[in-house]
Amino acid sequence: MVRPRAEHGSLRLSRVEKKRLLAALLLSLLAHLGAWGGYEAGKKSGLWEKLHWPDHKKLSVTPPKPVAQNAEPTIFIDVSQAATEAPKNAKYYSDKNSRAANPDDEKDSSQPKLNGHQRDIPKTEDTPKPAKTKPAATQKPIEAKPEQTKAAQALNPGALQPGKPAEIETPEQNPAPEPRPRTVREALAQQSKQLPGLQLQQDGGVRRRALSSSLDAMATPFGAYDRAIIEAISQRWYDLLDRQQFAQNRTGKVTVYFHLNPDGSVTEMKINETTVGDLFAYLCRDAIEQAAPFGPWPSDMRRLVGANFREIAFTFYYIAD
């Protein structure tokens, strides 16, 4: 008995299948070419711009508004009257908290009224520039007269050595003024004193009453350290001005940028802006260089900064006397 031979399928396409595949490819190519040609034609004719598409904002889900966070203030202010509570939104920072106040409450605005004579430096009271320091005159020892020597020996025998004149202590008539701080440590010791400057002039008024006007300021871990830096740099600046005997009728400002490193050193210094000329600008730069290095950062500052340096923009104001 003979069995029929099994037929095996072939992977080759038949002529009919090849014609169908070729027709599908041609239709696909024509469709793509037609779509691309229509897009280019509409683009050149401006058709797509005239069409009004549905507003995508209405089709999408609007995310919730982020919660507003209070930005850290970046402008230092010298606080003379500390407050127990910190303000909610402070434009300035310091080593102590301060609340905006005025001696009267005639107006209620966002800022207190200050009757100063300058509009650049935020300061609530006039503080004179420190007086020039002069070296104390050395006094020669006063030789005791013979009768004074005999009287002293009678009261305290053996107190005076024979053959040497006795020195009588006399109080100083002109005590030497307190030296200006040259380091952050010296400036911290004298922080009870106010930084020199003129009161700010601005219109306004707040309901909170106090004997003297004040601004909103927030105490931060940077406050005490930065105040000491400002004190050391400004004192050095005054020293250089007095030594060079510059005219005090120049007005303008100089902004010096630098990196303040954790060990207190200063790098990457450059003059960003000057309106008083190069000579006065270089004087400001020298004041920072000669006052540095400052003290190492406190531990709180290291944790908050979280970087290897702080970017500082120190502005000097030349105000005519």
pLDDT tens digit sequence for 253-276: 999 999 999 999 999 999 999 999
Q: pTM here?
A: 0.58
| pLDDT of 132 strictly over 80 | no
**pLDDT for the residue numbered 47:** 66
pLDDT digits (tens, 9 = 90+) for 222-261: 899 999 999 999 999 999 988 877 666 778 999 999 999 9
pLDDT band at 314 (very low <50, low <70, confident <90, very high): very high
Q: Please report the DSSP string for 35-88 in residue order.
A: HHHHHHHHHHHTHHHHS-PPPHHHHSPPPPPPPP-PPPP-EE---SS--SS--S
Separation CA 228–CA 235 (nearest Å): 11
- For 147-181, write each residue's pLDDT tens digit: 544 444 443 433 333 333 334 344 444 445 555 55
**191 or 168, which is more confident:** 191
Residue 217 confidence (pLDDT)? 92
273-302, pLDDT tens digit by residue? 999 999 999 999 999 999 999 999 998 888
H/E element holding 259? strand 252-260
Distance CA 127, CA 107 (A): 27
